[in-house]
Amino acid sequence: MRRTATRLADGREIVYFDDTPDAPERTAADTRDLPPLQSSSEIRRDPLTGEWVAMAAHRQTRTYKPPAETCPLCPSVPGRPTEIPESSYDVVVFENRFPSFSHGVQDFGGNGLSTVDGMELVARAPGRGRCEVVCFTSDHNSSFGELTVPRIRTVMDVWADRTEAMSAMPEIAQVFPFENRGEEIGVTLSHPHGQIYGYPFITPRTERMLEVASSYLDKHGRPVMGDVLAAEREAGTRLVETSEHWTAFVPAAARWPVEVHVVPHRQVPDLPALTEEERDDFAGLYARVLKHLDSLYDRPLPYIAAWHQAPVGEGRDLAWLHLEVFSILRTKDKLKYLAGSESGMAVWINDVTPEAIAERLRNAS
């Protein structure tokens, strides 16, 4: 794979990852007249939960459901420059033009955290971090599930590359690669793409998972994910796909009507820690998992695919890398809405048993 890094007209970084042997050199310049990137992101800490909340009002003006002929993620053509100056690409990553977090956010002044309107209970800080867009293919009408296994393997290397790069940035505490697919999920650009967030804090979900992992290790002397994985493989009732290095299963306490966890058999903290063989093996297994998902309702399944990685500076001996794929579609034409219990109390109520959905997924394709 060839890696080529350059800059867009407003100074944002763009990196091309080419796996096609005869791919041209990436020398095209961004001809757009773009204003300098400005981000007003900040984070505020909820005094009741201790959780950080991001404020990014500038994102209100981001591109919203453009027609295919004006898609900003397609390659540039004469007379219509896009976010990608080249006329073709394999996989490309660039800094988001409307980021939730940005390394360019200015200090508020003074030292350390400031407060909101003098209220010391509510801390605030610059929303420093990084947000990147990952385009999986130049084909606007494709999807991740239609990628070849070698291309999925390339995307694995891209995720690992960007995780390493972001982890080296002093303002970033956790790196989160993910893909949103489908309008029902809230996708505003239909071109096959994902994103990578570099957070300036450890996310609440990860904090909670590390707390549970630490408590379980102290009590049992073993990692909780290792025991979960062994139990799922032995029971078999919730398995969807297995391979030499990975297992995909519906978790026994699934929150969503469709939810699959893809877990490596070896405890590793993040994507860069995977071996070449583990990355190869994931590509084939994940391609099969996506076929099951799209066959479940005989339609493209809207989903979120979220990589759970260890934070940059802590919990790396406790975390166990895994991919969580879930959908809000509970039947072919019915959505699961987060009602009072889920939204108000974070107590999930699932309308289908994990065992039933696992069996349906296994038989789907």
261 is catalytic: no
CA distances from 11 to 38, 79, 200 (A): 11, 21, 22
Q: How far apart are CA 161 and CA 163, in angstroms?
A: 5
Residue environment code for 127-164, b if the CB has 16+ CB neighbours within 10 A, otherwise e:
bbbbbbbbbbbbebeebbbbbeeebbbbbbbbbbbbbe
Identify the active-site residue in 191, 193, 245, 292: 193
CA dihedral 182, 184, 189, 191 (to 10 degrees): 10
Which residues participate in catalysis according to the annotation?
193
